[in-house]
Amino acid sequence: MRIAVYGKQFGEGFFSYCSILLKHLNDAGAELFIHRSFYDFLVKQVGLKPGCCELFSDFHDLPDCDLLFSIGGDGTFLDAVTMVRDRHIPIVGVNSGRLGFLADISKEELPLAVAEIIAGKYIVRELDLLKLETSIPCFGDLDFALNELAVQKRDSSSMITIHAYLNNEFLNSYWADGLIVSTATGSTAYSLSVGGPIMHPASRSFIINPIAPHNLTVRPLVVPSDFELRLKVEARGGKFLASLDSRSCILDEGLELKVSKADFSVPVIERPGKSFYTTLRSKLMWGADKRN
């Protein structure tokens, strides 16, 4: 089995667990490919010397693999998506910190989880992404997002106005601090923090969710993901901020943003007994009540 490993720096509390993970992969005879900067971190700061046959730096030199292990939090998982892109390599999210929604394998689960994955005891679930198109290449070839597109004012000054059109029909002009266009996966991320609904990852929908709207009658709207959304922004300072997951760019007002469903999806691993519902209960304390 050919396995790529991508990660970010983590605290000393995860050093021994990372060693366990790599040992299990080596003992299983996996052919490892490790991200170059993560390999340097493991060698210089963690004191590990993982056996691997090759290092990679980005999407362009990532070898064909059966799986990619993302070690970190949800931010690391989102970065791992930019490594895989449309290569259709399933991603395994290992959580090296506390709360991880996408990186859902906790350190305590590692030995059993790795054994199950190596044995092929998992299913692959496809996650939809959104795509952003503009007349200027502000995000280059990273013009997609697994969680959301966020359009926001740049500073603490006045609100911005975002004119939204669905399939070329006028929807609304949002007077707000910003607007979030979220995928179903991103419904438990930024969109949730501003009052958006939770959607099942298999939902073929986007959420259009204003950030601190001036008109309190404006609420989040769920639309089919095969709709095309166009946004035009007015900003008093002449510029606004657009972000795709963790990547951001400052744009001039009047620039049109076109949002649609990306033409590829990202495969992720789901283990036996683990599902979206168990994640809701364990990570978001769904239905938790001390009386129970």
Residue 30's SS3 state is: coil
pLDDT confidence of residue 274: 84
Residue 223's SS3 state is: strand
Lowest mean pLDDT segment, chosen from 41-45, 96-100, 236-240:
96-100
pLDDT confidence of residue 129: 97
- Give the burial class of 187: count Cβ atoms within 10 A of its Cβ; 0-12 exposed, 13-18 middle, 19 or more buried: buried
At 98, the pLDDT band (50, 70, 90 cuts) reads confident
Q: Is the confidence at residue 232, as pLDDT, over 80? A: yes
Residue 292 lies in a domain: no
Q: Which amino acid is at 114?
A: V
pLDDT confidence of residue 272: 86
Q: Is the confidence at residue 122, as pLDDT, over 80? A: yes
pLDDT digits (tens, 9 = 90+) for 27-59: 899 999 999 999 999 999 999 888 777 999 999
Residue 187 lies in a domain: yes
pLDDT digits (tens, 9 = 90+) for 188-209: 999 999 999 999 988 999 999 9
Q: What's phi and psi for 280, nearest 5 deg?
A: -60, -45
| Shared domain check, 44 and 60 | yes
| Shared domain check, 153 and 111 | no
| Shared domain check, 188 and 170 | yes
Q: Which is it for strands 169-176 and 160-166: parallel, antiparallel or unpaired?
A: antiparallel
CATH number of domain containing 38: 3.40.50.10330
Residue 268's nearest CA partner among 52, 138, 100, 41 is 100
Residue 12's SS3 state is: helix
CATH number of domain containing 241: 2.60.200.30
Residue 87 lies in a domain: yes
Q: What percent of the chain has pLDDT over 70?
A: 99
Residue 225 lies in a domain: yes
Answer for the pair 264, 86: CB distance below 8 angstroms, yes or no.
Answer: yes
Q: What's phi and psi for 110, nearest 5 deg?
A: -55, -55
| Shared domain check, 134 and 39 | no
Q: Is the confidence at residue 154, as pLDDT, over 90? A: no
Residue 160: strand pairing partners: 176
Q: How many CB atoms lie within 10 A of CB 115?
A: 12
Q: Is the confidence at residue 292, as pLDDT, over 70? A: no
Answer for the pair 2, 65: CB distance below 8 angstroms, yes or no.
Answer: yes
| Shared domain check, 258 and 134 | yes
Compute the mean pLDDT over every residue in the chain, rounded to the nearest whole number.
92
| Shared domain check, 165 and 93 | no
Q: How many domains does the chain have?
A: 2
Element housing 78 (H / E): helix 74-84
Q: Which is it for strands 31-35 and 54-56: parallel, antiparallel or unpaired?
A: parallel
pLDDT confidence of residue 236: 84
Residue 291 lies in a domain: no
Query: Is 74 part of the annotated catalytic residue set?
Result: yes
Say which residue the tokens 């946004």 belong to: 231
- Catalytic hit among 74, 128, 177, 245: 74
Residue 208: strand pairing partners: 181, 221
Residue 288 lies in a domain: no
Residue 187's SS3 state is: helix
Could you tell me which residues come within 8 angstroms of residue 51 by beta carbon, excluding any fewer than 6 positions away? 26, 32
Which domain range does residue 63 map to? 2-122+271-283
Residue 180 lies in a domain: yes
Q: Which amino acid is at 117?
A: I
Q: What's phi and psi for 37, nearest 5 deg?
A: -65, -35
pLDDT confidence of residue 155: 76
* CA dihedral of 250, 265, 202, 66, whole degrees rounded to 10: -130
| Shared domain check, 105 and 8 | yes
pLDDT confidence of residue 137: 87
Residue 233: strand pairing partners: 162
Query: Residue 236 has which token pair?
Result: 């008093």
Distance of CA 49 to the CA centre of its chain: 29
